[in-house]
A and B are shown apart, each in its own frame.
Chain A
Amino acid sequence: MRTAFDVQPGRILVVHPDRKAQRALHRVLSSTLCPVEIVELDAAVAVAADDPAVPTVIVIDQPLARTRPELVAGPGLAWIAVPCDDVQPARPEVVAELMAAGWRHVIGAPIALAGAELLIAVQKLLRGDPFGIDKHLGWGATIEATTLEDAGDRPAVVARLVEGAGRAGMSERVASLASVIVDELLANALFGAPAGGGGTRRDRADARFDSRPLAAREQVQLRWGSDARFLAVEVTDAWGSLAPGVPGPAIARASRRAAGASEAGMGLALAYACCHQLVLAIEPGRRSQAIALIDVGHRPVELGRAPSFHVFTSPRPAVAAGPPTAGAAT
């Protein structure tokens, strides 16, 4: 008999007070074949700090995370904040608070529905491979790819997506949400990313829909696909200029429904509000990728009001050693 499996070195710690949630998390995370331990918060910090050579992902209850925002920069590979209950979704104000504090992995759906999302996030972290919507869709889903070679192609590309979503049996509402997401993500990639990456600054409002051939590095790729669970879109630029610590707090600020909030920087917040998971992956200086998932397999009331948020960087960041310090998250 010969058995082979590709298991990544790593360790997963679960810090959650709810017994049912502990069991659900243990069951899901054990699929990685990495050791999964249920521990108290102090033990998690100590274990992750004591042996930084072992990539450690800590999954923590959101109310607990809220009391220790500095843990986002704490020991271990990453801290993922999950809802406090097996069946209740995250509270939007808690999600916004954690994002404002710089948390890079905050899950919105109840644990019972977020198993696949959590597993994908952990595997992306352990494998150091955060790119691609193929990781989020079923194997049978066909993924359509389009490269924008002209800035003026954006409306046509968005229209094509809407048409495709309709053909895929998506409701008008899902297609409408997807069109807003893609428009905003493409606009960021076309007009925002080059400015941050040392390219030519383009003002989105002035550029409007003018035709402008894009140099090789300015070209943007859109991929999208759907299965019975998600409509997924992915937008990738070749700049990698997005700073990992910026989007979460910016979205949280924009989500406060403040007067005057939309004068700048609302695009990503709007994309976040229109999806159920916003997943960003950044390879500094090389590429940034935004993936948005619209859940079509569950009713909105089951999923709750707060979309999930993830930011990954590649290559995998060096594991922090030692105890976290207050204020380190900012």
Chain B
Amino acid sequence: MTEETLGRAVIVVDGDATRRQLTVRGRIDESSRLSERVEAWAAAEVTIDTAGVVFLNSIGVREWMRLLRGLADRGATVYLDRCAEPIIEQINMILDARGSATVRSFHAPYQCTACGHDAPALLDVATHGDAMRRMEAPAMPCPECGESMVLYEVPEKYFTFLVG
């Protein structure tokens, strides 16, 4: 396992040419030259975990797309796990921000109906995908009070990438 720092993003790289795991955290912007690492990170299957990404701007998404495109061009099957909200915002806006990758789980903004606590909830596509494609957001338990949290976004806006 190695840790690479690209500008304001930190990427933990694990695995081999058969199966690679990239765990990204920090900020993806013009300082994050992700596309320059395509060769080194390519594998038959690449899983990218972005739960720790806190920021992605329009120049950063360009690097992100070049990374996905570069991996796909080298024959990689790419899975996106635990996508951070900034990644989903971009994927919903730009088709290329997902490319041919498969989103397996992602974070969504939730708010507790009882105590008002705001927190991202992790949604699993295999578990909730059918409902979400019907634009029905699953209720999630509030980490503070245990009551029910609801999606704090318009489903037709936030789940666009699941049907597009």
Contacts and interface: CB of A to CB of B under 8 A. Distances in A.
Interface stretch (B11-19, B39-47, B58-66): B58-66
Given A180-B86, A258-B95, A262-B96, A270 B58 contact: yes
Interface in A279-330: 299-301, 303-305
Contacts of B30: 204-205, 208-209
B60 to A, nearest CB: 9
B3 interface: no
B160 A257 contact: yes
B96 A305 contact: no
Given A173-B109, A180-B55, A209-B31, A262 B65 contact: yes
Interface in A175-217: 176, 179-180, 183-184, 187, 204-205, 208-209
B56 interface: yes
Contacts of B8: 155
Interface string B92-116: 1111110000000000010000000
Interface centre among A257, A267, A269, A305 (most CB of B within 10 A): A257
B156 to A, nearest CB: 6
Interface residues of A, number: 35
A267 B54 CA distance: 17
A266 interface: yes
Given A262-B58, A305-B157, A257 B152 contact: no
A269 B57 contact: no
Interface of B: 7-8, 29-31, 54-59, 61-62, 65, 85-86, 89-90, 92-97, 109, 118, 120, 152-154, 156-157, 160, 164
28 contacts: A155-B8, A176-B85, A180-B56, A180-B57, A180-B86, A183-B29, A183-B55, A184-B57, A204-B30, A205-B30, A205-B62, A208-B30, A254-B93, A258-B94, A258-B95, A259-B96, A261-B93, A262-B61, A262-B93, A262-B94, A263-B62, A266-B61, A269-B93, A270-B58, A270-B90, A273-B89, A273-B93, A300-B157
A-B pairs, 5 with minimum CB distance: A171-B118, A266-B58, A259-B95, A267-B58, A305-B157
